[in-house]
Amino acid sequence: MSTIGLYSDDRTLSPLLSSVLGKDFTVIVKSERRESRDQTDTEVCDALILDLNSKHDSLQRRIGLSLQLIASNVPVVIMADDELRSTTFDLVKAGAFGYCRRPPSVRELKATLGRACEHSLLKRQLGAGQQHLATQGGCDQMIGAGPQMQKVYKLVERVTNLSAPVLVSGESGTGKELIARAIHNMGIRSNRPFVAVSCGAIPETLIEAELFGHEKGAFTGTVGAREGYFEQAGDGTLFLDEIGDLSLYTQVKLLRVLQQMEFSRLGSSRLIPLRARLIFATHRDLAAMVAEGKFRQDLFYRINVMKIVSPSLREHPEDIPALAKHFLEHFARAFKKPVNGIELDAMAVLQSYPWPGNVRELENVMQRAAILATSHSVQREDLTLEVAEDEEADLCKVTDDLDKVIDIGDYKSGGSFEQQLSAYKIKLAVSAVRENNGNRTMAARSLGISRVYLHRLIRLADPDDVLQPDARQAGMG
């Protein structure tokens, strides 16, 4: 039951309001003197009523009190007679939640107080969500300061308190579930359940029963009723991962739930309202699947209301050092190893690796490095990347090639426009790799091209035509 604080000089008003509001609200008479010196007295109330009487001697003082109350975090409802209508409007503009006429209409007063108490509840839930974010994690659990991750953070903040579905797309291992949890933790549902379901991990014959639940005897082997994931999520968040793995039959079932906002257990006709907020994730190209007839177009439009793309690690390599250090610190504590740093040559290998498994692969690599490390810092030999040796050899070859390449101005000016343009591109690529100390990932990013295209340009550089002047003289001698 909600608690209402009443500020009034009319001694008959308190018992009257207690009588008519008693079933829905608890009315407490508040002390003006205490309120004037201590705001904490308002914190126990869900809403406040301030009674303004134009015939009362202390009207100006009570208007001042109303402004003081409005500055608190509790919704204030002004009760005033018609003579004070303009003053009441000014108070509403100043931040009062609402007003009602004096003497009040019971129905009008109950409706206004109900909205005020609901507003107060939402503010408390939001505060709890923000506190939960500070302690348990929202976007602060997502590591990355580059522009790609900043885009993700901004979108997460925009959708936290919305009820609209969210689709998180991206390659495997990029942290799509982490984004979903951040959306949940930062919103007003943070103190409600977060239920994560991997659609691809559930057999097709069981997916419907797992999602919607079933009654006893609904199908062979059931020994009792069971709540599905939609019910378990309640007023919280249901995260359906790998939504692209659902069959067309299950897609139809899911579409109907989204359209009707209700569902029923297998073996039951009782409809259960859908209260959970839905977040979907996939590593597949759903638009392409729609074109191929593998994913329903109407379902795609239903779930693709708000879309957040989780970038691959190749798209924000500038965050690799911070991620690597974070994982190393975590596993060093878990394994009680005195490892607290990463050597420069080891970090260079990490930054030059393409990371097909994205952040998840980096986490596994740093876990193994923490186990294998025999000193206070991770060495290059502690990294167990499958192609680390090939990448290192390739990096050395590129570095050797760079030592033989001359400046852009040394290219021949003859040839067609396309030939000169190609030569210029090659020299830009070589120069970018030099400036980034041989790091191809950073060089490609600085030029706005892919690593594959950068490698192609480097291979086109002919050492015989682009030897340094000193090297030419040495060869002539």
Using omega within 30 degrees of 0 as the cis cutoff, is the peptide bond preceding 321 cis? Answer: no
Give the pLDDT band of residue 73 (cuts 50, 70, 90): confident
Can you read off the two tokens belonging to residue 8? 């009034």
Residue 17, pLDDT above cutoff 50: yes
Write down the pTM of the prediction. 0.55
Residue 411's pLDDT band, with cuts at 50, 70 and 90, is: very low
Q: Which residue has the tokens 């009792």?
A: 224
Average confidence score pLDDT of the chain: 80
Instruction: Work out the average pLDDT over 327-343.
Output: 91
**Under DSSP, is residue 219 helix (H, G, I), strand (E, B) or coil?**
coil
For the chain, percent of residues with pLDDT exceeding 70: 79
Taking the C-alpha atoms of residue 393 and residue 89, their distance in angstroms, rounded to an integer, is 76
User: How many angstroms separate the CA atoms of 440 and 450, rounded?
Assistant: 9
- Model confidence pLDDT, tens digit, residues 39-64: 434 557 888 888 887 676 667 777 78
Which domains are seen in the chain, by residue range?
A: 2-126 (3.40.50.2300), 145-311 (3.40.50.300), 314-386 (1.10.8.60), 391-476 (no CATH)
Alpha carbon 212 to its chain centroid, in Å, reads: 26
Parallel/antiparallel/unpaired status of strands 341-342 and 213-214: unpaired
Amino acid letter at 155? Answer: L
Radius of gyration, alpha carbons of the chain: 33
Higher pLDDT, 132 or 191: 191
147-154: average pLDDT? 90
pLDDT tens digits along 203-225: 888 899 899 988 887 776 666 78
